[in-house]
């Protein structure tokens, strides 16, 4: 009976998370378009619904009812699988991301996370890596030149930065002594982990930009070079899943993990703990600020060439991440 | 100011070569030579007399003459600033290729083959330049009609069966290529030697219009490259032969649509030269001012799209913000935003409206700040530097061999600027500098264009000062018999009305002769060769496009580079398809 | 389209919602051919900003709904333009921007296609050489009206051309002001 209850609660929670993320991601597109608009001195979506508020709904309706065109020359199985492979892992990471401390409403304890695994961070990394397959599949299955080049470029970038990202995350794990994201947050009640881990934070920022394909690392769908990169041949919602997964869900989730690892998760800002703000609100404020930072970078910088990106990954980011481990080890010996 | 070869050199030539015929006139000096002596003469001119820069090659069709086609080579001596034309009859419809002397002739010869059917002995790959393989005609021949041969049934898909068409609509159309034809065109250009042949373009967001690049690639590295042009070939040179000189002005806009006013000025200057019309002082300053405004406008578009190609999306919108201001100024003065047919033979179409100078003054005070803003984001940006520096290096030799002009030539340190070499309008009375590059890479070209915008501002400032004191002066020399009267004059005097009627119906009866004159377009030297037979229409008009020759070096520079570099390289060469294809 | 003789309110409502979605999220393929492409870029830029209406330019034809034929279509590029059109998924629309693509414009020559409607069906013709950004926006809104009218099952009525008085045919009716 207890098991059944757990299953039901987990199912409901997962549904809430997934639907919430879907809607959230849809509105993140609006957020980005508005943000880009204001950066570029124009209003952004304005006339669809009040102040453009229904724009994502219109886009979703259109994309969902578009003809589902599959070119003759594609490898059909992989072609379908690719968009799922890109999307599902991104949303799966949510399973281990906590959004706050457990709290009690009307005598019921609510945990704002699906599960608190003791290897949560590892799982997140693993799921993140799976999405590479989605990209390679998309590039290969399209049986077309531009998607092929785009997919291979993205794969080259991802492999480089996954390694650096993995090493950069070691620092906070060493300090917290746990892979569980919740425990990492609890370990930061007195001091955020960014203080000794500043190098790791820089590496993580670069890695997130690279993994989510934002400028200066958006080589895989550089419009001027490759039309649409690996998504060139995709139509309708099969196409829609890629940017949704990459640009919005992945960016959001990775921002959340960064906040958890370096900025104390849902712990309030220093000296502001007396404010009557719930924990998850603190968390979302931090995540959104970080998300906005990525948008800001995206709409400002030009892009690197792909060989320059991989060069940066292996020659700069990986050594930095390793140096960070060294620094943190010394820090732990001295203070810990 | 004339730039033709001096008598001393002509004497040297005539001593050395027999059977040559020198035609010297005020606007054009040519040496006519037999076909078997052509290469020697050109070699002599290039190596001994210093005419080392290739400007243009084209053909003229004389259907009643035997041999029928005449090839004309235009050369330039950059040290002494002299031009010379070499004419040669194409016996047996063929000429020897000169690609061994000047690499830049490769495309010009392809064009002559495409348009006239003149063959070139020894050309490495003589294919059609603008039309496709399998096209049966050579359209610039005099016996080919402007409208083409309408033999394909191709009715409108929108016309309902019961509907009467609104215009003189014919369901028959000139022949369209099939996909097989285009494939054959591609195969004729490049043979697959490496892993894949990538068709970059023609309808691709990164190719600045409709240029069709063929990359033979090994991984992401381009090993061989060729370019298929003609995706915007509209037959402008053929149109010119069928219109009067004034009627052709709007077409110059639509060639280089980004710098419409500069093209108009270049064309009108050439026509004025052959007609002997002298525009009033005010018109000269207005032209210079408008040209420079257009130059800023053009460079802004270049900056925006260049940055967009490199991923900096926001710069694109920032430059378009300034472009809108310039477009508004042009619209206020000329009446039309983009293709403003504002320049007329003998002056300009309208006087400056009230307050125009104030608006321009406001703009030139405001603009340096914005330029600073762009430079802050880009000039010392680490990513920008890594993408641009040491890419696509052009040296002086390339400039002469390919006939590169404009910023591309100046980035290699060659001070080739028509505004300095042969100042037209008020350029000899304004003070400006021509920035020169040192390395010749993409970053140099970026810096040069940014600096040119500053220099243009400087010129505009001087013109505005001058124009402030010219209020109420005449802006078009309507006293001249070749100049169209203004609307006001037509309505108020019978003589003007008759003159207007005559000029509009019969065209300007240009005296027999030839002229070659060029202007400094933002994209390079835009030259007009006009061959008049004393009629109201030109017998042959050749448009020497700067972008056409500048683009040609792309195939060399891209070798061994990646597709990502192709974007940068293309952006820094800054071609406009309307001008390359004409 | 709503099925006639069927009192299904639900069907109609669903169609209406879908039509609303489609006309408010028209993504054009960024195909620029000639001069009009510059004005198309201006339409997308800050001052006129097509993003207000939910219009963003997509590089790939597979993901776009409307093809804005911006510029002269010459014979050589016509088969490729048709290929782009064929690659677009349904429902798709075509806006012919400017005189050249509508009817050949000022280029009645051997090389130019005399009207893009000879190879692909056109929904809206925008006049001008080149049309100003305002004109292109008008064309886009006209297309939105057309999509809406089609949803309602009505035949799209031609945009009424205002009568122009000529010397031989002066306008007979009274002006709205009554004199």
Question: C8: burial class by Cβ within 10 Å (0-12, 13-18, 19+)?
Answer: exposed
Chain C residues in contact with A62 (beta carbon < 8 A)? 21-22, 24-25, 65
A167, A92: one domain: yes
Cα–Cα distance measured from residue A321 to residue A319, given in angstroms and rounded to the nearest whole number: 5
Q: Find the Cα–Cα–Cα–Cα dihedral B354, B355, B360, B363, rounded to 10°.
A: -150
Distance from CA of A215 to the nearest CA of B (A): 7
Q: Which residues contact B184 (CB under 8 A, 6 or more apart)?
A: B132, B133, B134
Distance from CA of C41 to the nearest CA of A (A): 14
Where among A10, A45, A65 does a domain terminate? A65
What is the DSSP-derived secondary structure letter of residue C74?
Answer: B
Sign of torsion over alpha carbons A260, A190, A113, A170: positive
Reported as type and span, the H/E element at residue B355 is none
Considering only CA atoms, give the Rg of chain A: 20
A46, A115: one domain: no
Using DSSP's 3-state secondary structure scheme, residue B119 falls into: strand
A123, A210: one domain: yes
Contact A61/C65, CB-based, under 8 Å? no
Cα–Cα distance measured from residue C27 to residue B82, given in angstroms and rounded to the nearest whole number: 53
Cα–Cα distance measured from residue B41 to residue B138, given in angstroms and rounded to the nearest whole number: 29
pLDDT digit string (tens) for chain B, length 582 residues: 568 888 888 888 888 888 888 888 888 888 888 888 888 888 888 888 888 888 889 899 888 888 888 889 988 888 888 888 888 888 888 888 888 888 888 888 888 998 888 888 888 888 888 888 888 888 888 888 888 888 888 888 877 767 776 667 777 888 888 888 888 888 888 877 777 888 887 888 777 778 888 888 887 888 888 888 888 888 888 888 888 888 899 898 888 888 888 889 999 988 888 888 888 988 999 999 999 999 999 999 999 888 888 888 888 889 998 899 999 999 989 888 888 888 988 888 888 888 888 999 999 898 999 899 888 888 888 888 888 888 888 888 888 889 888 888 888 888 888 888 888 888 888 888 888 888 888 898 999 999 999 999 999 999 998 888 888 888 888 888 888 888 888 888 888 889 888 888 888 888 888 888 888 888 888 889 988 888 888 898 899 888 889 888 988 888 888 888 888 888 888 888 888 888
Q: What range defines the domain where residue A17 resides? A: 1-65
Q: Which backbone phi and psi does B540 adopt, to 5 degrees?
A: -150, 130
Cα separation values, B544 from B57, B327, C139, Å: 9, 27, 37
Q: Helix-strand-coil percent breakdown of chain C, rounded to 5? A: 40, 10, 50
Cα–Cα distance measured from residue B331 to residue B323, given in angstroms and rounded to the nearest whole number: 12
A43, A124: one domain: no
pLDDT of residue C3: 45
A13, A86: one domain: no
- Give the closest residue to A205 by CA, choosing from A135, A298, A126, A132: A298
Q: Are the C-beta atoms of residues C97 and C36 closer than 8 Å to each other?
A: yes
Q: Which residues contact B86 (CB under 8 A, 6 or more apart)?
A: B30, B31, B32, B33, B38, B41, B42, B45, B72, B73, B75
A214, A143: one domain: yes
**CB of B131 less than 8 A from some CB of C:** yes
> What is the largest distance, in Å, between two alpha-carbon atoms of chain B?
75
Using DSSP's 3-state secondary structure scheme, residue B57 falls into: strand
Q: How many residues does chain B have?
A: 582
Chain A residues in contact with C46 (beta carbon < 8 A)? 40-42
**CB of A236 less than 8 A from some CB of C:** yes
> What is the largest distance, in Å, between two alpha-carbon atoms of chain C?
55
Interface test with chain B among C49, C111, C155, by most B beta carbons within 10 Å: C111
* Sheet with B82-89, side-by-side order of all strands: B21-24, B29-33, B82-89, B69-77, B53-61
Chain C residues in contact with B230 (beta carbon < 8 A)? 74, 76
Q: By CA distance, what is B304's nearest residue in A?
A: A302
Distance from CA of A31 to the nearest CA of C (A): 13
DSSP-derived pairing of the beta strands C93-97 and C66-70: parallel
Query: What crossing angle do the helices spanning A279-298 and A2-39 adopt, rounded to 10°?
Result: 40
pLDDT of residue B381: 87
Low-confidence ranges of chain A (pLDDT < 70): 1, 107, 222-224, 273, 336
Cα–Cα distance measured from residue B577 to residue A95, given in angstroms and rounded to the nearest whole number: 53
Q: By CA distance, what is C129's nearest residue in B?
A: B339
Contact C108/B146, CB-based, under 8 Å? yes
Cα–Cα distance measured from residue B433 to residue B411, given in angstroms and rounded to the nearest whole number: 14
Q: What is the ipTM for the molecules in this complex?
A: 0.87
The size of the A-C interface in CB pairs under 8 A is: 94
Using DSSP's 3-state secondary structure scheme, residue C101 falls into: helix
Interface test with chain B among A225, A228, A295, A310, by most B beta carbons within 10 Å: A225
The residues facing B531 across adjacent strands are: B514, B540
What is the DSSP-derived secondary structure letter of residue A51?
Answer: G
Chain A residues in contact with C60 (beta carbon < 8 A)? 227-228, 231-233
User: Backbone dihedral region of B194: left (phi > 0), alpha (psi from -120 to 50 degrees) or beta?
Assistant: beta
Cα–Cα distance measured from residue B317 to residue B308, given in angstroms and rounded to the nearest whole number: 9
Q: By CA distance, what is B331's nearest residue in C?
A: C132
Please compute, for residue B269, the number of CA atoms within 13 A of its CA located in the half-sphere on the CB side: 28
What is the DSSP-derived secondary structure letter of residue A313?
Answer: I
Please compute, for residue C106, the number of CA atoms within 13 A of its CA located in the half-sphere on the CB side: 20
Q: Which backbone phi and psi does B53 adopt, to 5 degrees?
A: -100, 130
Neighbours of A21 (CB within 10 A): 19
pLDDT of residue C162: 55
pLDDT of residue B486: 87
User: Backbone dihedral region of B177: left (phi > 0), alpha (psi from -120 to 50 degrees) or beta?
Assistant: beta
| CB nearest to C35's CB, from B131, B159, B578 | B578
pLDDT of residue B418: 87
Which chains have 3+ CB pairs within 8 A of B? A, C
Q: Which residues contact B562 (CB under 8 A, 6 or more apart)?
A: A305, A306, A307, B220, B221, B222
Cα–Cα distance measured from residue B222 to residue B198, given in angstroms and rounded to the nearest whole number: 9
Chain C residues in contact with A231 (beta carbon < 8 A)? 60, 63
| CB nearest to C46's CB, from A42, A45, A227 | A42
Neighbours of A8 (CB within 10 A): 10
Neighbours of C134 (CB within 10 A): 12
Where among A65, A92, A118 does a domain terminate? A65
Residue showing tokens 């016509």: C78
pLDDT of residue A107: 67
Contact B383/A225, CB-based, under 8 Å? no
pLDDT of residue B361: 92
Which chains have 3+ CB pairs within 8 A of A? B, C
Where among A14, A47, A65 does a domain terminate? A65
Sign of torsion over alpha carbons C57, C59, C64, C67: positive
Q: How would DSSP label each residue in B523-549?
A: TEEEEEEEEE-SSSS-SEEEEE-HHHH
A247, A281: one domain: yes
Q: Is the peptide bond prior to C130 cis by the omega test (within 30 degrees of 0)?
A: yes
A178, A254: one domain: yes
Which chains have 3+ CB pairs within 8 A of C? A, B
**CB of B230 less than 8 A from some CB of C:** yes
Q: Which of residues 179-198 of B touch C (CB under 8 A)?
A: 179, 182
Interface test with chain C among B153, B158, B580, by most C beta carbons within 10 Å: B158
Cα–Cα distance measured from residue A221 to residue B435, given in angstroms and rounded to the nearest whole number: 36
A162, A73: one domain: yes
- Give the closest residue to C27 by CA, choosing from C80, C89, C102: C89
Residue showing tokens 């235009």: B74
A41, A104: one domain: no
Looking at the 3D structure of chain A, how many domains does it have? 2
Q: Is the peptide bond prior to A216 cis by the omega test (within 30 degrees of 0)?
A: yes
Q: Which residues contact B481 (CB under 8 A, 6 or more apart)?
A: B499
Contact C46/A41, CB-based, under 8 Å? yes
In terms of DSSP H, where are the helices of B379-441?
A: 382-388, 396-402, 406-411, 418-421
What is the DSSP-derived secondary structure letter of residue C2?
Answer: P
pLDDT of residue B101: 86
Reported as type and span, the H/E element at residue B157 is none
Using DSSP's 3-state secondary structure scheme, residue A8 falls into: helix
A300, A194: one domain: yes
Q: How would DSSP label each residue in A9-30?
A: HHHHHHHHHHHHHHHHHHHHHH
Low-confidence ranges of chain C (pLDDT < 50): 1-5, 156, 159, 178-179
Chain B residues in contact with C38 (beta carbon < 8 A)? 257-258, 301, 338
DSSP-derived pairing of the beta strands C93-97 and C124-126: parallel
Neighbours of B276 (CB within 10 A): 12
Cα–Cα distance measured from residue B548 to residue B233, given in angstroms and rounded to the nearest whole number: 12
Contact B564/A306, CB-based, under 8 Å? yes
A21, A138: one domain: no
């Amino acid at each position: 009976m207890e098991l059944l209850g757990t299953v039901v609660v987990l199912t409901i929670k997962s549904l809430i998370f997934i639907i919430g993320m879907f809607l959230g991601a849809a509105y993140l597109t609006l957020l980005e378009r508005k943000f880009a608009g204001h950066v570029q001195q124009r209003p952004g979506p304005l006339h669809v619904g009040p102040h453009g508020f229904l724009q994502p709904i219109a886009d979703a309706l259109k994309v969902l009812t578009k003809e589902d065109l599959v070119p003759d020359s594609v490898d059909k199985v992989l072609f379908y699988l690719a968009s799922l492979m890109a999307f599902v892992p991104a949303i799966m990471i949510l399973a281990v991301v906590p959004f706050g401390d457990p709290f009690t409403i009307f005598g019921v304890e609510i945990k704002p996370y699906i599960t608190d695994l003791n290897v949560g961070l590892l799982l997140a990394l693993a799921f993140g890596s799976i999405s590479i397959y989605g990209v390679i599949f998309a590039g290969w299955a399209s049986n077309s030149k531009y998607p092929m080049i785009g997919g291979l470029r993205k794969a080259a970038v991802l492999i480089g930065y996954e390694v650096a990202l993995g090493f950069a995350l070691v620092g906070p794990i060493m300090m917290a002594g746990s892979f569980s994201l919740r425990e990492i947050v609890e370990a930061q009640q007195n001091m955020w982990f960014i203080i000794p881990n500043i190098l790791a934070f820089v590496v993580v920022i670069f890695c997130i930009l690279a993994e989510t394909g934002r400028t200066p690392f958006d080589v895989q769908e550089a419009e001027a070079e490759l039309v649409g990169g690996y998504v060139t041949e995709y139509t309708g919602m099969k196409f829609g899943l890629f940017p949704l997964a990459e640009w919005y869900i992945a960016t959001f989730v990775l921002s959340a993990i960064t906040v958890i690892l370096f900025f104390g998760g849902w712990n309030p800002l220093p000296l502001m703990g007396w404010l009557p703000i719930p924990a998850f609100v603190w968390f979302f404020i931090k995540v959104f600020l970080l998300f906005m930072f990525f948008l800001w970078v995206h709409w400002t910088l030009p892009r690197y060439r792909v060989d320059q990106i991989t060069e940066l990954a292996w020659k700069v980011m990986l050594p930095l991440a390793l140096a960070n481990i060294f620094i943190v080890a010394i820090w732990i010996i001295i203070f810990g | 100011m004339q730039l033709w070869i001096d008598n001393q050199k002509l004497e040297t030539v005539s001593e050395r070569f027999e059977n040559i015929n020198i035609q010297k006139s005020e606007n054009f000096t040519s040496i006519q030579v037999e076909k078997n002596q052509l290469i020697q003469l050109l070699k002599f001119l290039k190596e001994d007399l210093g005419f080392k820069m290739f400007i243009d090659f084209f053909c003229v069709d004389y259907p009643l003459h035997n041999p029928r086609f005449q090839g004309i080579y235009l050369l330039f001596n950059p040290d002494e600033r002299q031009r010379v034309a070499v004419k040669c009859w194409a016996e047996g419809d063929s000429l020897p290729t000169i690609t061994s002397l000047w690499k830049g002739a490769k495309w010009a010869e392809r064009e002559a083959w495409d348009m006239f059917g003149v063959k070139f002995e020894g050309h490495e790959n003589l294919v059609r330049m603008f039309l496709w393989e399998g096209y049966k005609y050579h359209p610039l021949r005099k016996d080919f009609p402007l409208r083409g041969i309408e033999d394909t049934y191709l009715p409108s898909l929108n016309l309902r069966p019961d509907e009467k068409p609104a215009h003189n609509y014919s369901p028959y159309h000139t022949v369209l290529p099939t996909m097989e034809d285009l494939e054959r065109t591609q195969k004729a250009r490049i043979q697959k030697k490496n892993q894949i042949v990538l068709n970059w373009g023609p309808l691709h967001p990164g190719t600045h219009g409709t240029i069709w690049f063929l990359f033979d690639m090994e991984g992401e590295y381009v090993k061989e490259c060729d370019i298929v042009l003609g995706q915007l070939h509209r037959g402008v040179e053929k149109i010119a032969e069928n219109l009067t000189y004034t009627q052709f002005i709007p077409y110059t806009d639509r060639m280089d649509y980004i710098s419409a006013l500069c093209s108009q000025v270049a064309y009108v200057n050439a026509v004025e030269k052959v007609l002997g019309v002298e525009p009033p002082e005010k018109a000269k300053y207005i032209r210079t001012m408008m040209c420079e405004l257009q130059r800023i406008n053009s460079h802004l578009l270049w900056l925006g799209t260049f940055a967009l190609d490199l991923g900096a999306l926001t710069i694109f919108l920032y430059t378009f913000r300034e472009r809108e201001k310039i477009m508004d100024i042009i619209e206020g003065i000329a009446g039309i935003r983009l293709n403003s047919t504002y320049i007329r033979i003998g002056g300009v179409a309208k006087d400056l409206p009230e307050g125009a100078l104030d608006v321009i003054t406001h703009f030139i005070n405001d603009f340096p700040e914005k330029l600073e803003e762009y430079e802050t984001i880009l000039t010392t940006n680490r990513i920008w530097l890594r993408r641009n520096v040491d890419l696509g290096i052009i040296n002086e030799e390339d400039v002469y061999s390919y006939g590169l002009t404009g910023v591309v030539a100046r980035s290699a340190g060659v001070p080739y600027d028509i505004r300095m070499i042969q100042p037209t309008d008020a350029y000899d009375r304004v003070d400006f500098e021509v920035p020169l590059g040192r390395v010749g890479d993409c970053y140099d070209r970026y810096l040069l264009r940014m600096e040119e915008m500053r220099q243009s501002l400087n010129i505009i400032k001087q013109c505005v000062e001058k124009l402030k004191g010219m209020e109420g002066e005449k802006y078009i020399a309507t006293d001249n018999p070749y100049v169209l009267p203004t609307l006001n004059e037509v309505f108020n005097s019978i003589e003007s009305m008759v003159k207007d009627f005559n000029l509009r119906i019969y065209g300007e009866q240009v005296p027999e002769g030839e002229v070659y004159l060029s202007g400094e377009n933002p994209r390079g030297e835009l030259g007009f060769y006009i061959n008049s037979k004393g009629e109201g229409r030109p017998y042959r008009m050749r448009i020497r496009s700067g972008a056409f020759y500048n683009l040609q070096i792309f195939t060399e520079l891209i070798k061994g580079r990646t597709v990502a570099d192709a974007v940068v390289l293309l952006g820094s060469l800054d071609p406009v398809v309307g001008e390359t294809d004409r | 389209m709503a099925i006639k003789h069927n009192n299904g309110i639900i069907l109609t409502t669903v169609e209406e919602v879908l039509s609303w979605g489609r006309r408010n999220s028209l993504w054009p393929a960024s195909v620029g051919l000639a001069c009009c492409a510059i004005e198309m870029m201006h339409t997308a830029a800050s001052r006129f900003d097509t993003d207000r209406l939910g219009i963003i330019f997509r590089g790939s034809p597979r993901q776009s709904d409307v093809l804005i034929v911006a510029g002269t279509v010459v014979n050589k590029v016509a088969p490729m333009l048709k290929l782009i059109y064929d690659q677009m998924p349904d429902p798709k629309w075509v806006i012919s921007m400017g005189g050249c693509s509508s009817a050949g414009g000022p280029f009645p020559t051997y090389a130019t296609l005399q009207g893009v409607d000879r190879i692909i069906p056109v929904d809206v013709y925008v006049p001008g050489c080149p049309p100003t950004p305002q004109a292109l926006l008008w064309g886009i809104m006209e297309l939105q009206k057309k999509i809406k009218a089609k949803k309602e099952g009505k035949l799209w009525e031609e945009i009424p051309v205002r009568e122009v008085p000529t010397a031989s045919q002066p306008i007979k009716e009274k002006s709205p002001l009554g004199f």
